Amino acid sequence: MMKEKTNKAYFRFYEELNDFLPPKRRKVKFEHRFVGNASVKDMIESLGVPHSEVDLILVNGVSVEFNYLVKNEDLISVYPVFESIDISDVQHLRPKPLRNPKFILDVHLGKLAKLMRILGFDTLYENDYNDEQIVKISKEEKRTILTRDIGILKRNEVTHGYFVRNIKAEKQIIEIIERFNLHKLINPFSRCLECNDLLEPIEKETVINRLPAKVKESQKRFWICKQCNKIYWRGTHYENMSRVLAILNIKNLK
């Protein structure tokens, strides 16, 4: 029996895609040997990079789709998701960038979900969501998946997803704002922390019987969530988030 010929392709990954590679392969062109036929999508994921983090693949300088079959001596350049830049004229990998970003977070990102809601971002999170539910909701509602689990991003159904690099929530929120260019969409303290619905101003007299004694004395402005009927005022969460906003140099507090 004749042995299959070993082929080689040359890869170069750009920007944050290098986070998924071993140090020796980061930000350099490297050789990858293979036998038989393999799609560029399968080959990229075999190297450790989820396809949902990729938005542009150039093979020998030409934009290709995920199903392109890699050939011997191909030079492959792989670029990350350009969520804030429209490159639809030159790539064929994903639907158009999400201009009205909405998110769904996995079970590892509860603290980040809270911070995102405080900043006014449409963020779904439940601590009992499983991977199938997250992918289904992401697809149906056109939500970007934020996760600390690379595996979910390698599912074929996932088109918009991002692996959160940082561990601590306050660094994660800065990472997400920077990565998705969300600065101009920040609307602090406009969304319910419990159910994600938008808040509405409400007169103090209307809810005064539901307020703690100290709050009655110290607070004048209140908001209510019509979905879950929770009342909000500028308490500890406001002070904590103000610190994060200061780090981001954001001053448009309500």
Among the listed ranges 4-8, 27-31, 99-103, 207-211, which one has the minimum average pLDDT value?
Answer: 99-103
In angstroms, the CA 215 to CA 153 distance is 44
Is pTM beyond 0.85 here?
no
227 three-state secondary structure = coil
In angstroms, the CA 151 to CA 254 distance is 39
> Which tens digits make up the pLDDT trace of 103-154?
999 999 999 999 999 899 999 999 999 999 999 999 999 899 999 999 999 9
Other C-beta atoms closer than 10 Å to the C-beta of 12 total 17
Which pLDDT does position 134 carry in this prediction?
A: 97
